[in-house]
Structure 1
Amino acid sequence: MMSITDPNMSSRFASAMEEIHNKQLKTYGEIIDTTTELCQSHRQFVKSALDTCSKKCKDDEMLFETIQTFKEDLDHKNESLREKQHAISEVISEIEQKEMHKDDLIQKIEKLKEEQAKRKELIESQNKSNKDRLKNLGKARLVFQEHLGMEIRTILGKSQLVKGEKLQFVFRNINPSDQDSAYVVTMGIKADGSYQIVSSDPALESLPVLESQLQETNNLPAFLANIRKAFITLARC
């Protein structure tokens, strides 16, 4: 073992310390170089990450803008669809109303057809009844003209009461003191086909009763015979 009094000891110690220092400096330089490389690598990584994030942010913004555009377009389409659905509902409602109106018109037309058929049937019945009455009038005319000197006239009434065509039955040979004196009863046929006694000249108190009997029996010759009897009775009073 060397003595600390060795004069070369200090020189060797300094050399050893310098060698250690140099190694440490070398190690420190390597650490610095490594640190520098790591810093550069980190900066590059951070820059790359920032670029990637920035690009990602821009892509996300574009994506959000696209989504917003799609959303607005979808809202517009939904609004347009709602308007079209509302318009379709109105058209359907209008069609349904027209169908109801159509059904109502069809029912009214059918009702009118039924009423027309009933009126036609009534008119035919009235025509038949009128023909029967005209036939009775013809028979009565022959009987009274040939045997009793009765005259039948057709007249047109001037007042609202006797408006339309009427018949006048003119009786003669009633008053023994004046055989040519005329006794007149005026009558016609109502819309329902029944006889209507308008007046008599001279007036007969029994005329309403005789008219009622005519309505019940529809026997015109008997009515005219009763009228003649009534005139004879009146003339003898």
Structure 2
Amino acid sequence: MTSITDPNTSVRFTGAMEEIHNKQLKTYGEIIDTTTELCQSHRQFVKSALDTCLKKCKDDEILFEKIQSFKIDMQQNNELLKEKRHAISDVIAEIQQKEMQKDDVIQKIEKLKEEQIKRKRGLKNLQKARLVFQDHLGLEIRTILGKTQLVKGEKLQFVFRNINPTDQDSAYVVTMGIKEDGSYQIVSSDPALDCLPILESRLQETNNLPAFLANIRKEFISQARR
């Protein structure tokens, strides 16, 4: 066993202590280096994570702005769509109204055509009556313009003569006109005939003016001979 008083022992002890101290310093240095590397690695990781988060936040903000812009566009498009729907509804309603007006105009035109045809028939009957009565029986047809409410407008007077045997020139008169629908309207007779409403009703049914005038002449002759 080496003596503690041996100088070599002190040197060896000191060397051993220095070696242990150096090993500890080396270990500490390695720990410090490792810790430094870990700190740098952590800083880089944190910086990378922070950059990623910042980029993600920025992307999210851009996406949110796009979503908001899309919502605004959608709302504007919906408003425009509503306006267009209202406009289309108005156009459809206007077209339907014009179609109804067109149908109404067509019906009125057809009614006017029918009335014109009836008037032509009435005038044709008047021509026939004129040929039959005026040429053969001395019937005179006059056109008059009524001034009273009862005979307002253009009317016709049928003047019969050769009725009264004692006075061949004595005039027997029937005044009548043609309504808008082409039917005949008896205004008056002179002298008055009690059966005039019946004869007018029959004329309305048959539209036979010559027969009506023949019946009127018979009634005038019958009345003159009483």
Distance in 2 between residues matched to 1:203 and 1:21, nearest whole Å: 177
Q: Which runs of 5 or more residues in structure 2 are unaligned?
A: none
Match of 1:225 among 201, 211, 214: 214
| Aligned alpha-carbon RMSD (Å) | 3.3
Distance in 2 between residues matched to 1:160 and 1:26, nearest whole Å: 154
Give the secondary-structure state (helix, strand or coil) at the position aligned to 1:14: coil
Cα separation, partners in 2 of 1:203 and 1:38, compared to 1, 3 Å: farther
Match of 1:53 among 42, 59, 65: 42
Give the secondary-structure state (helix, strand or coil) at the position aligned to 2:47: helix
Structure 2 residue aligned with 1:6: none
**1:184 CA displacement:** 3.0
| 1:98-117 equivalences in 2 (<5 Å) | 98-99=87-88, 102=91, 106=95, 109=98, 113=102, 116-117=105-106
Distance in 1 between residues matched to 2:60 and 2:53, nearest whole Å: 10
Q: Which moved more, 1:68-77 or 1:114-123?
A: 114-123
Cα separation, partners in 2 of 1:69 and 1:155, compared to 1, 3 Å: farther
Distance in 1 between residues matched to 2:191 and 2:63, nearest whole Å: 99
Structure 2 residue aligned with 1:13: 3
**1:95 CA displacement:** 4.2
Contact 2:4 2:10 in 1 (8 A): no
What amino acid is the match of 2:4? Answer: A
**1:227 CA displacement:** 2.1
| 1:1-237 equivalences in 2 (<5 Å) | 13-16=3-6, 19-99=8-88, 102=91, 106=95, 109=98, 113=102, 116-175=105-164, 179-235=168-224
Distance in 2 between residues matched to 1:40 and 1:155, nearest whole Å: 141
Q: Deviations over 1:117-157 (max 9, x none)?
A: 55444443433332222121012123222333332222333
Distance in 2 between residues matched to 1:75 and 1:202, nearest whole Å: 102
| Higher relative contact order structure (alpha carbons within 8 Å, sequence separation ≥ 6) | 2
Q: Deviations over 1:164-217 (max 9, x none)?
A: 332222334445566555433222222222222233344433222111101111
The number of aligned residues is: 226
Cα separation, partners in 2 of 1:50 and 1:101, compared to 1, 3 Å: same
Q: Which runs of 5 or more residues in structure 1 are unaligned?
A: 1-8
Give the secondary-structure state (helix, strand or coil) at the position aligned to 2:40: helix
Distance in 2 between residues matched to 1:56 and 1:158, nearest whole Å: 115
* TM-score, normalised relative to structure 1: 0.74
* TM-score, normalised relative to structure 2: 0.77
**1:36 CA displacement:** 2.1
Distance in 2 between residues matched to 1:190 and 1:46, nearest whole Å: 121
